Structure 1
């Protein structure tokens, strides 16, 4: 879980909600800007930092690095160090990440088809 100021009311409220249902923690993670787009970009085959950055042209390096760290922390992606010169890192969805991505795809379709929302 990401670091939060433990004395804040927001932290106390979020902690309470997370004890009520794990969905609240999932929603908290997914509500972070760019998190789902990074997940989808990796699913689409962008497995290197630079290719994800190219795919999501407006994301900053700092935010991309943070979102990759969070996705790895929650075991939604794996990070593979390739011993080459120069060294290379590749990212891939874990089975849990694939399952979440499928659920998110269903939610996208629900939003489009049942709620009349649009997705580009």
Structure 2
């Protein structure tokens, strides 16, 4: 369950938990609705595989939010982290097979939304 920063006994927490148990899509939508989440995923897909290049691509994202979004994407196995044995150590990110599949689905949703002119 993805719910963060909510009191366990709050009605918002209970409602979200119910929805996520009812359908896995609700959990995925909750994850993807976090600000910058899809942008970070798309940036990595476009070849921005280092923290600094993602930050440059998404010029208004804060370091804390970017680090959090990368962590969440890793936890849900949508991206992989590769630490290169260099001095200083270098970290690169790439989409997993699941991340690639999700990215393709999201691209289709983006195209659909543009046609709807939301």
The two structures share one fold, judged by TM-score above 0.5: yes
Give the TM-score normalised by structure 2.
Answer: 0.94
Aligned-residue Cα RMSD (Å) equals 1.0
Q: Tell whether the 8 Å contact from 1:2 to 1:70 is kept in structure 2 after alignment.
A: no
Which residue in the other structure is 1:56 paired with?
58
Distance, in Å, in 2 between the alignment partners of 1:82 and 1:67 is 21
CA deviations over 1:38-83 (Å, ceiling 9, x no partner): 0000000000000000000000000000000000001000000111
Distance, in Å, in 2 between the alignment partners of 1:12 and 1:2 is 10
Give the TM-score normalised by structure 1.
Answer: 0.93
Question: Residues 42 and 35 from structure 1, CA distance in 2 versus in 1: closer, same or farther, beyond 3 angstroms?
Answer: same
Unpaired runs of at least 5, structure 2: none
Moved segments of 4+, more than 2 Å: 1-5
CA deviations over 1:16-51 (Å, ceiling 9, x no partner): 001110000010001100000000000000000000
Counterpart among 70, 73, 79 of residue 71 in structure 1: 73
Distance, in Å, in 1 between the alignment partners of 2:27 and 2:95 is 20
Unpaired runs of at least 5, structure 1: none
